[in-house]
Chain A
């Protein structure tokens, strides 16, 4: 397109009628293609969520003895079995559970657990061993091995997590698709992008900046154009986490060719007076996920969606001196989906009479087994290329 034509259009076009040329050939999914296009939403509860006060071993005396002032009483919980109960702030999750749409996987962790937020988050996000330092994330490596476009993994947030950083390709971070798109329409940058050739870019920081710019340019247009198709009218709670989930629903229902969505809810580092703060956060989590599932169901996309919720570690079984809990190890993971193979309580409850030397729960399920199951059973790709090791696949999905 000639510059003056472009200018005229950008001056006179009142709406967004101008479709950039590089969009041609990039199609979104039509309604019948939409069905069966599987995706996974990964939610990190950052800070180390206390799994024992989320899904509670309510009949276990050790639990009550070690947590005299912060253990949940029966009347503060929603019964699952005689031995297990949801925190009563997880009402929406409990409803899904009752419909056979939740699988609870207990004792998830890894050998020699690290109790630093940052290191353990890195381990979870890169799917590394405890003493192995990787600078690519497992979703990033999934992109490298299986995808053509960065937008096939989207983090709905202001910045991109290590999980979505690959060797060849990074996922896209977007919290507001319109804003991202508007900045790419600047004539100066458009010209810069047209002058840039991907093959010529170096591996250094400068090359990285140019590469990111090129990828942003094409992805921003794609996401913007496609996500305009559907705007949900389902009601979501008023908080930024719910807003992010709403954006994810818009993307899924619009038919974005995205396989992995990533989002997080922070504030779970409950060293002090944890009851109020954790309950408030669990309520935000539960109500927001409830709205998301309702939205997806309404549009017949829940059957193609899997929602995985994890935290970088659980917390110590024994409460500390400030009505809180210190950093722990293994924890429960929640899988929510419309097409689970095994719903309910997936495996044995934590054994509180056999804790590790720090007084933390021992792991019996390697978290990478869960990733492997998602990659292999759900996204139907080779999990070993992504995880580098053959982890046992689990039958929850």
Chain B
């Protein structure tokens, strides 16, 4: 792609404040990792900005936090006021609302302009992994995470720990003075702060469980501290002794630099590269810890660094199912008329929002990929954008074959359309495309360098039929990476 000269001119006259310009590939990299890809129009707009300006633009777009909200109807009624029959209905309604909540967030991910905030929310949705069938609690937790996504991690941790969702999921309501329940105490160290086997003992867990006794919530879903259930005895946790409370434990954990390091490692693996560079980790850990766990500071340090844009970090991450589906849907503004379709896709690809496999979240990386998920992932572009058909064109094909094939595809399409009910807006996508040359399109659509196989394959494709060419390129294994 030809770079406009103006950019170079600006750079030479303003070298003190300007950082090096990013290539299109690098800009796409930033947008994939900080969001779900980039549109042609946005790429055209930001191409003339320098790195810092683009990064600032991403943060600016996410400055506001727009909470998810939904109507819970009969779920707000008190349990004891309900008849037996009504209770049964409430159970069904709860399941239905969980599905609605899933669809609500998914649609937001596709439509929102606050992409960075939503991407970080998605990361912490995985980090503070909760699997429940109580839609109110799940929505509430999701909004806590969203509100703090670019704020302070310590505040997020404290609020999450006190949320009905977490108290329910890790059984802290049952954690009482005479019968401690260790579940939350263990996971808060193992998964939320220090990381497994990082400087705490079984005794620390037992002691911390005592400190969290009495943490509970009332019928309105507000946190309450039940004094009669709290163990006021002396506890020793990570070398700190006293009549410690749950808040004290959280603060002790935040005081440990290992907490900053563990969060940074997870963020690095998710946003940069699953192969950790220890030099970068130590540098970021310092930044994060010294900023008192400010997430905006940490993410700016990552996205403004030079190494983030190294070619070894580009096009190597296996997209999560959410990144894949949202990334495909966004540029085509796909409308899913039947939310069950989105649920089905998430389920089959092993990432249903609000239903992580367990408290450790989704393992990610290569574990997204096995034989069954891979084939559906490869089919996804054609399913979402072209009613399930990859129209295979071969140069010099016989006209009668083309006719047979068209009829065949037509049949499949009408079948798939009835099932999938997704409507992509191809006009918008095609009309904003800047280039329609094969190599330019490929470079825009795919982040990694093409494999030898893909090169051979691409050379057989007909670029004049842009729509079909795009579907074919999006059906290559390379599209699974970002």
Contact = CB atoms under 8 A, between A and B. Distances in A.
A279 interface: no
B161 to A, nearest CB: 17
A192 B176 CA distance: 60
A258 to B, nearest CB: 14
Interface in B434-482: 448, 451-454, 456-457, 460, 472, 475-478, 480-481
Interface in A257-293: 271-272
B95 interface: no
Contact of B370 (A7, A8, A200, A212): A212
Contacts of A116: 186, 190, 196
A321 B173 CA distance: 10
Contact of B379 (A3, A131, A183, A195): A183
Contacts of A215: 371
A119 interface: yes
Contact of B316 (A115, A192, A205, A320): A205
A216 B457 contact: no
Interface stretch (B18-26, B78-86, B393-401): B393-401
B251 to A, nearest CB: 24
B481 A4 contact: no
B372 A158 contact: yes
Contact of A322 (B174, B367, B374, B451): B174
B75 to A, nearest CB: 21
Interface string A185-218: 0111101100111001100111111101101100
A118 B367 CA distance: 14
B405 interface: yes
Contact of B176 (A11, A321, A326): A321
Contacts of B379: 183, 186
Interface string B354-377: 000011100001110111111110
Nearest to A190: B392
B452 A200 contact: yes
Contact of B360 (A4, A118, A192, A196): A118
A172 interface: yes
B413 to A, nearest CB: 14
A160 to B, nearest CB: 4
A226 interface: no
B270 to A, nearest CB: 14
Interface in B5-61: none
Given A159-B370, A212-B369, A213-B378, A206 B350 contact: no
A351 interface: no
B99 interface: no
Interface stretch (A173-181, A334-342, A376-384): A173-181
B401 A7 contact: yes
Interface string A102-118: 00000000000001111
A212 B372 contact: no
Contacts of A321: 174-176, 178-181
B358 A118 contact: yes
Contacts of A4: 397-398, 401
Nearest to B373: A159
Contacts of B456: 195
A219 B371 contact: yes
Q: How large is the interface on A (under 10, 10 to 19, 20 to 34, 35 or more residues)?
A: 35 or more
B183 interface: yes
A219 B477 CA distance: 18
Chain A CB within 10 Å, residue with most, of B202, B372, B398, B472: B372
Contacts of B454: 192
Interface residues of B, number: 63
Contacts of A179: 372
Contacts of B448: 206
A19 to B, nearest CB: 20
Contacts of A209: 318, 369, 374, 477, 480-481
B480 A115 contact: no
A232 interface: no
B477 A117 contact: no
B453 A183 contact: no
A220 interface: yes
B171 interface: yes
| Residue from A4, A162, A187, A207 with most neighbouring chain B CB atoms (10 Å) | A4
Contacts of A196: 453
Interface in B309-367: 315-318, 347-348, 350, 358-360, 365-367
A347 interface: no
A65 interface: no
A180 to B, nearest CB: 6
Contacts of A160: 367, 370-371
A340 to B, nearest CB: 32
Given A209-B477, A212-B370, A326 B457 contact: no
Nearest to B203: A357
Given A173-B371, A180-B371, A322-B171, A192 B457 contact: yes
Given A158-B350, A212-B369, A326 B453 contact: no
A309 interface: no
A170 interface: yes
Contact of A205 (B360, B375, B481): B481
A35 interface: no
B174 A189 contact: no
A184 B407 CA distance: 21
A160 B367 CA distance: 8
Contact of B404 (A8, A189, A358): A8
A358 B202 contact: yes
A205 B376 contact: no
A272 to B, nearest CB: 6
Nearest to A130: B197
A187 B394 CA distance: 11
Contacts of B480: 209
A208 B366 contact: yes
Nearest to A187: B392
Contact of B375 (A11, A158, A216): A216
A94 to B, nearest CB: 31
Contacts of A220: 371, 375
B424 to A, nearest CB: 18
B457 A191 contact: yes
Of B371, B379, B408, B472, which is in contact with the most chain A CB atoms at under 10 Å from its CB? Answer: B371
B371 A172 contact: yes
Nearest to A326: B182
Contacts of B360: 117-118
Given A119-B196, A158-B372, A205 B397 contact: no
A144 B305 CA distance: 41
B181 to A, nearest CB: 5
B144 interface: no
Nearest to B388: A186
Contacts of B359: 117
A117 B481 CA distance: 30
A188 B182 contact: no
Contacts of B176: 321
B186 A11 contact: no
Given A174-B371, A272-B171, 19 more contacts: A4-B397, A7-B401, A11-B404, A11-B405, A158-B348, A174-B372, A183-B379, A188-B392, A206-B315, A206-B448, A206-B478, A209-B481, A210-B453, A213-B374, A216-B374, A220-B371, A271-B183, A320-B180, A324-B171
26 contacts: A4-B398, A7-B405, A7-B408, A11-B405, A115-B186, A119-B196, A158-B350, A159-B350, A159-B367, A160-B370, A173-B371, A179-B372, A186-B390, A189-B375, A191-B457, A195-B453, A205-B481, A206-B448, A206-B451, A209-B318, A210-B477, A212-B374, A215-B371, A271-B181, A272-B174, A358-B202
- 9 shortest A-B CB distances, which residue pairs? A321-B179, A322-B174, A216-B371, A160-B370, A183-B375, A209-B477, A188-B390, A196-B453, A187-B392
